[in-house]
Amino acid sequence: MKKILVINAGSSSLKFQLIAMPEREVLASGLVDRIGQETSTYSFLTTDIKIEESEIIPDHEYAMALVAEQLLDPIYGVIDTPSQIDTVSHRVVHGGSIFKEPTLINETVKEKIKELFSLAPLHNPANLTGIEVSEQIFPDAIQIAVFDTAFHQTIPEHAFRYAIPNELYEQHQIRVYGFHGTSHKYVSKKAIEYLENPEAKLVVLHLGNGCSATAIVNGESVDHSLGFGPVPGLIMGTRSGDIDPAAVLYLIDKLGYSAEEVNHILNKKSGLLGLTGHSDLREIQKGVSNGDAACILALEMTAYRIRKYIGAYTAAMNGIDALVFTAGIGENSALLREKVCENLDFLGICINNDKNENTEKGIREIQNGYTKILVIPTNEELEIAIQSYELMEA
């Protein structure tokens, strides 16, 4: 049995799972949230206990030390010494076109991750901090990086290239990279197993605070809604999704915003937040129930944008076998799933309202039509553990 500690460090959070492989048994899990803010929280869960506390957690280094403290606690911890961790596996958001597989971490790999800071400024620095701190806390463990962008390296050139001067691609690698790859890979594998069809044509919708759509054929990503960075595509919690570049230039040239300010607007102040004042879809759904016009419009815009990508990807794949919903919103919002599936009956996509309202866990079908509509819970941490274990056993 190998004990793999999976670290998923976000810009202001740190999720973890300690997983025994190949048994896939979760020994402990938890979340450190709101890192660097006035009130931070953390949770720690095993088969025996659940701890939820609030305290000031100033940075990711402190958060990693807190995770280790919980795992090693003499009363409720699940390991006796740091050396009992065989591997620490890290989710790294951006691997550029360099990293296409799970990778053993060394100084060269860390330098490459640092070079990619500009492509994922909110995530790659936190990912690298998680790596460096875990090397200190778990010095005997193998350190592995699993990159969000890796799954999308199968996208063909005609889909990942932008129609800009060639030298901008050749010299500066400006292209579609894609994100949420670990989630899309895990969920598409589950869908293929469920459908018993390795050649299935899938549109997978990862809908959370960040949102993306992926076209998948034969288990491989062939197109994806996020691009060079994590802004384009679907409407998200605080990100705009697709926007005309002319609007960006207008903000800079005519309204006097700096490039940094525009970047902040598109990443942090737009999307559902910009439309309604709420970044959480649950609050927007409450607004819809109360007749709030801004919330109603935001929901319609969100569903409409998703429908356009479903249509585009169905055309790109010359068909669709299943539409798959996953992640926090995709798994839990029956209302958004219903709205997304409206007026798609020409693709055989027709939702069954009773099945859609069902809240059972696990994979479930919610369609009336001939095209499958699946809700599949994602598990990025387990997928990272699986890929890491396969690398170690290779």
Q: Is residue 157 situated within a structural domain? A: no
Q: Is residue 162 situated within a structural domain? A: no
Show binding-site residues for ATP: 15, 206-210, 280-282, 328-332
For 127-139, write each residue's pLDDT tens digit: 898 899 899 999 9
Q: Examine the domain organization and report whether 33 and 115 are in the same domain.
A: yes
Q: Examine the domain organization and report whether 363 and 287 are in the same domain.
A: yes
Q: Examine the domain organization and report whether 338 and 211 are in the same domain.
A: yes
Q: Which of 320, 321, 335, 337 is nearest to 375 (CA)?
A: 337
Q: Examine the domain organization and report whether 374 and 294 are in the same domain.
A: yes
H-helix or E-strand containing 5?
Answer: strand 2-9
For position 275, what pLDDT does the model report?
A: 97
Give the count of domains, the chain. 2
pLDDT average, residue stretch 327-337: 95
The distance of Cα 362 from the centroid of its chain, to the nearest Å, equals 19
For 54-107, write each residue's pLDDT tens digit: 888 988 889 999 999 999 999 999 999 999 999 999 999 899 888 989 999 999
The residues, ordered by sequence, that sit 6+ positions from 344 with a Cβ below 8 Å of its Cβ are 307, 310, 311, 350
Question: What is the spatial distance between Cα 217 and Cα 184, in angstroms, rounded to a whole number?
Answer: 12
What are the φ and ψ backbone dihedral angles of 162, each rounded to 5 degrees?
A: -100, 150
Q: Examine the domain organization and report whether 115 and 215 are in the same domain.
A: no
For 154-168, write each residue's pLDDT tens digit: 999 999 999 999 999
H-helix or E-strand containing 212?
Answer: strand 211-217
Q: Examine the domain organization and report whether 108 and 254 are in the same domain.
A: no
The residues, ordered by sequence, that sit 6+ positions from 322 with a Cβ below 8 Å of its Cβ are 191, 195, 200, 201, 202, 203, 371, 372, 373, 374
Reply yes or no on whether the pLDDT at 370 is more than 90: yes
Show binding-site residues: 8, 15, 91, 206-210, 280-282, 328-332, 380
Show binding-site residues for substrate: 91
Question: What is the spatial distance between Cα 96 and Cα 109, in angstroms, rounded to a whole number?
Answer: 12
Q: Which of 239, 245, 108, 243 is nearest to 179 (CA)?
A: 239
Report which residue type is found at 281. Answer: L
For position 360, what pLDDT does the model report?
A: 87
Show binding-site residues for Mg(2+): 8, 380
For 34-56, write each residue's pLDDT tens digit: 888 778 889 999 988 999 988 88
Question: What is the spatial distance between Cα 363 and Cα 241, in angstroms, rounded to a whole number?
Answer: 28
What is the chain's length? 394
Q: Is residue 153 situated within a structural domain? A: no
What are the φ and ψ backbone dihedral angles of 269, each rounded to 5 degrees?
A: -125, 5
Domain hosting 341: range is 197-380
Q: Is residue 179 situated within a structural domain? A: no
Model pTM?
0.91
The rounded percent of the chain whose pLDDT value lies above 90 is 80
- Three-state secondary-structure class, residue 139: coil
Q: Examine the domain organization and report whether 143 and 201 are in the same domain.
A: no
Q: Examine the domain organization and report whether 65 and 129 are in the same domain.
A: yes
Q: Examine the domain organization and report whether 246 and 323 are in the same domain.
A: yes
Which of 86, 148, 223, 292 is catalytic? The answer is 148
Using the Cα atoms of residue 224, residue 225, residue 230 and residue 235 in order, give the sign of their dihedral.
negative
Asked if 148 is an active-site residue, the reply is yes
For position 38, what pLDDT does the model report?
A: 78
Q: Examine the domain organization and report whether 222 and 139 are in the same domain.
A: no
Q: Examine the domain organization and report whether 123 and 252 are in the same domain.
A: no
Q: Is residue 161 situated within a structural domain? A: no
Q: Examine the domain organization and report whether 285 and 376 are in the same domain.
A: yes
